[in-house]
Each structure stands twice: as structure tokens, then as C-alpha cells.
Structure 1
């Protein structure tokens, strides 16, 4: 709490963070004092990284102590169970077993030990040869299945490693090859095309309004019998010229819209457009590889 600044005193979050760190340091100091058992704790720099490492170390030490205590408790319980089994054994049976062992030959003792160790290894409660054979077959089958699964997983891992190396190479190619980079003038060209389209659409509406006005004037002139003169022919010629200009403007707008549609799927930001082009190139490459694989399969 000594490193609190005047600004932190007015910030509840900063003050709460400082209190939490102080509590953590107090816990770490207590743990180090217990571990060093009266010896002097070495000095070290007190910062957030050191606190994080010491906290993880203390948690790992606590888990290790808990695991050791559990193992010791399990060992004590196992020893008690073994002692109880030894005490519960029938003295007559023990005497008979000792007598049999004493009269066995070296091969017989070795065979008896082998039979007992096989039963223990196979985790069977019977020493019947048929039972041991079935258990041995089951263990062998399980071992072979696990071996095949491990081999399959290893082959899959090698395939994934190769695919990862290939993808990394393709990613490096996409990032370093200038052919896959988006032109720097793409955003400017798109903005210019959009501005031209907007301007041409306004012109089209203007000419459509003029054309409608001329058609209305022509219809009104045609309704008057005495108005058929040269002026109507000039109006018609003017109207035809404007219609021709309107058609030319429409074609120009359509061409510009086609050029803009080519960039319709790309974002306006240059870096984002470059990433999108790279992703599409990767998809194209995958499709080409699948096509080549299908073609090779058909040829084969």
C-alpha cells in the first residue's frame, strides 16, 4: 500500500487492486517464511511478474503436498489391509503352503512363482490355466488394438504436421508476394467510381425530366391543328438528340456499375480487403488441389 499515488486514493478500482496485491504479498511472505523454517528469506524484486510466479509456485507446492499426503494415506491403508490379510490367514493353510514349498523342486518353485506372478499381472482371482489363457488373450487383443490406434494417431499427426507446414508456406506466400497485395489506389478508385455513378444518375434523372417535359409539350402541340410547323420538327430533333445522349449516359453508367461490382465483395479498408483477397486465393488453391486430385483419381 506504500506505492499508492494521490490519484489512486480517488480510484476505487486502483485501491481495490492494491489491497488485493498486498494480501497476496502477505500470503507469499507467510509461505516463504514457513518453507525456509527460520532461515533468512533471500531478497528479491517485488513486482507483478514476481508475484505472479510466486503465487503459481505456492499453488503448485500446495498441490504437490496434497498429492504426497494422499499417497502416504493410501500406502498406510494398503499396509493395514495387507497386515489384516496376513492376520486373517488360516495357520493351517500357511503351514500347508510352507510344507509344499519346502518339498518342491527348483523347477516347481520357479513354476509356482511364475504362476502366481502371471495371475497378479493379469489381475485374475484364479490360477486356473484356462482362466489365465482367456485373460492373456484379452490383454493381448487390447494391446494390439491400442498399438493400432497409436499407429493411426501417429500417421494422422504426421499428416496434420505436413498440412500445417503447407498452410504456413501458403500464408507466407500470400503475405510476402506482391501479386496478392491489394492496390493502394483501390479505395480511391472505388470512391471515384461511386461519385461518377451518383453524378450520372443525377444526369439521367435530369434528362428523363426534360424528355418527359418535351413529350408533354409535343402532345399539347399536336392537339392544336394550327400548330403544325417547323418548330415541332425542331423539337422532335432536339428530343431525339437528348434521347441519344440519354442512351449513351445509360451505357456509361452500366459500364461503371460493372467495374464497381468487381469490388463489391471487398471491404473499404485496404488491409481488410487484402486479407479477403488472400482468403479467396487460399480457397481457390484448395479448389484447384481438389480438382487435380479428382482428375488424378479419374486418370488412375
Structure 2
């Protein structure tokens, strides 16, 4: 496209020509973008000759598209008319043929024809060929037998699940009603008391450790070279006595902690704790039975 010069700005004809070319180029760009369907349009030189060729190509393409659409529409209409004619002719001929066959058949033949047609319809076969009907019948028989076997398997599985469900309900009733699986009524009170004692003993241990540390520091500061022997002996005896007391308290705390750990993981609610204990006792009973069975099998 030629660029505008200062002289062209004062020429109405030149400006109109430039506007027309710009509109033509916009139309060509839109047409090329549509034809390339999102792909990159190749670069080319934009001049008057290229614009002329592209306009002629676009016009020819539009005419070809219109001719193709008209041709397709004519072909569809012709095919539809041909199908209508063939359908009418075929239906008429088939009806005449069927009437002729029925008129010349014996009652047994009509009954056989009706049975053959009914079989073809039920088996959903496109033809009444005996071989095709036989293959379809065999296929349906195999499918029916497979479904029957699957149904029997499902019923067996359903019966097994019902038995297991009844057994589980019986075990649940036993767990809920048997006093052996009940949680001791004092469990929560014992747990609370042991936790309280553990906290109290931990506080005592920290107190005695602080006192022991203070005695050690004061003993080291008060001992003089003259009285080092007597003071050291008394301090050591006192320290040993306090250490023994401290060790005894520590052992007691550890014993209480072990007892509390036995109930670790149980819920705070009494009923929930009972159910959890009952569940664990059932598991223990099952493990004992399994152990006894394994031992009996080993002995035998």
C-alpha cells in the first residue's frame, strides 16, 4: 500500500482511494483469518497487485462456496425424493408379495410363517435366515445361563452375609449384656486419683531437687579448710539420705505413671470407656482362643 505524502493530504480523490484500500485490506485479512482457522497467516507484500489478486481469489472462493451449497442442497432433495419413491414402491411390492404368500399357504404354513416372524422380532435379528436365528438363539441362551449363574452366586453371597450379620448382632448383644465386659464403676475415680497423686509427687520431686541443690550450694560455700572433714561428712550423709528419699519418690511416681498409662487412650466419658474396655476384652478373648487353637493344632 502506498504511503500518503503531504500533497495527498490535500487531494480528496487520493484520500478516498486510500480509505477504499484500507477497507479492502481489512476484508482480506478477515477472510484469510477465517480460512486459516486460527493458524498464523503467512506474511506477504502488501501492494495494489497483491490486493487485486486476493480480491479476485476471495470472490472466486465465495462463488465456489455458493455453488457447492446449491449442489449439496439439490443432491439432498434428489436423494430424499428417490428414497420416498423407493420406499413407496418397495412397501407396495412387499405387501403384494406378503398377501400372495398368505393366500397360497396352508394353515400350518401360515402358523409357521407367523412363528418365524415372531422369533425374528423377539431375537431382534435383521433377517429371518435360519442360520442367523440359530446363532442369535445360542447367544441369548448363553447370556441367560450366565445371568442365572451370577444370580445364584449373588444369592449365596447374600445368605452368607445374613449369617455373618446375625452372628455379629449376637456377639454385640453378649458384649452389652454380659457383666464380665462391664467397666468397673470406680474406674474414672481411680484414674482421677492416680493423676492427682502423680501431679502431687512430681511437685514434691521438684521441691526436693531444689532443696538438694540449695544444700549442695550452701555446703560448698560454708565449708572451711578447718571444718571441711566434719562438715563434709554430715553434708554427705544428709545428701545421701535426701537422695534415697528422692529415689523412693521417683520410683513411686514411675509406678503411678505406669498404672495411669494402662488407661491411656480411654475416653473421659464413663460409658464410652466401658465400651472401649469391653471391645479390648473381646479382642483379648479372640486372641486367647486363637492361641489355644494354634497350641492344640501344634500338639496334634
2:238 maps to 238
Tell me if structure 1 keeps the 8 A contact 2:181–2:277. Answer: yes
Change (3 A) 1:285 1:154: farther
Match of 1:182 in 2: 183
Q: Which residue of 2 aligns with 1:8?
A: none
Aligned length: 212
Alpha carbons 2:202, 2:253 under 8 Å: kept: yes
Deviation at 1:97, TM superposition (A): 2.1
Correspondence for 2:271:
271
In structure 2, what is the equivalent of residue 98 of structure 1?
99
CA distance in 1, matches of 2:158, 2:181: 31
Q: Distance in 2 between matches of 1:298 and 1:94?
A: 85
* Structure 1 vs Structure 2 CA RMSD: 3.1
For the residues of structure 1 that align with 2:131 and 2:156, how far apart are their CA atoms? 37
- Residue in structure 2 matched with residue 213 of structure 1 by the alignment: 214
2:182 and 2:274 in contact (8 A); partners too: yes
Residue 75 of structure 1 corresponds to which residue in structure 2? none
Alignment partners' CA distance in 2, 1:118 and 1:296: 65
Which is further off, 153-162 or 99-108? Answer: 99-108
Contact (CA 8 Å) 2:117, 2:128: kept in 1 or not? yes
CA distance, structure 1, for counterparts of residue 293 and residue 147 of structure 2 = 32
Per-residue deviation, residues 109-150 of structure 1 (Å, max 9, x unmatched) = 332122111111112221011221221122112212211221
Runs of 4+ in 1 over 6 A off after TM superposition: 285-299
1:239 to partner: Cα distance = 1.4
- Measured in 1, the distance between the counterparts of 2:96 and 2:294 equals 77
Greater Cα offset, 145-154 or 280-289: 280-289
Deviation at 1:194, TM superposition (A): 0.6
| CA distance 1:238–1:170, change in 2 (3 Å) | same
Q: What residue in structure 1 maps to residue 143 of structure 2?
A: 142
Asked whether the equivalents of residues 102 and 110 of structure 2 are also in contact (C-alpha less than 8 Å), the reply is yes
Distance 1:291 1:97, change over 3 A: farther
Cα-to-partner distance string for 1:181-239 (whole Å, 9 max, x where unaligned)? 111101100110011101111111111112112221232244x2112253432222121
**What SS does structure 2 have at the residue aligned with 1:266?**
coil
Provide TM-score, normalisation by structure 1: 0.62
Segments of 5+ residues of structure 2 without an aligned counterpart are: 1-87
After superposing the two structures, state which structure 1 stretch, 181-190 or 153-162, moved more: 153-162
Provide Cα deviations, 1:254-292, integer angstroms capped at 9, x if missing partner. Answer: 110000000011012101112222343455567778889
Please report how far the alpha carbon of residue 160 of structure 1 lies from its aligned counterpart in structure 2 after TM superposition.
1.2
Higher relative contact order (CA 8 A, sep 6+): 2
2:183–2:278 CA contact under 8 A, matched in 1: no
Between Structure 1 and Structure 2, whose CA radius of gyration is higher?
2
Q: TM-score, normalised by structure 2?
A: 0.62
- Please list, as runs of the form range in 1=range in 2, the aligned pairs for 1:159-178 lying within 5 A after superposition: 159-178=160-179
The answer for the alignment partner of 2:27 in structure 1 is none
Deviation, 1:161, is: 0.7
Judge conservation of contact 1:182–1:277 (CA < 8 Å) in 2. Answer: yes
Aligned to 2:249: 249
Q: What SS does the aligned partner of 1:225 have?
A: coil
Counterpart contact for 1:221–1:227, Cα < 8 Å = no
2: CA distance between counterparts of 1:146 and 1:105? 40
Q: How does 1:12-91 map to 2 (within 5 A)?
A: 90-91=91-92
Equivalent residue, structure 1, for 2:112 = 111
Following the alignment from structure 1 to structure 2, what is the Cα–Cα distance between the partners of residues 106 and 246? 116
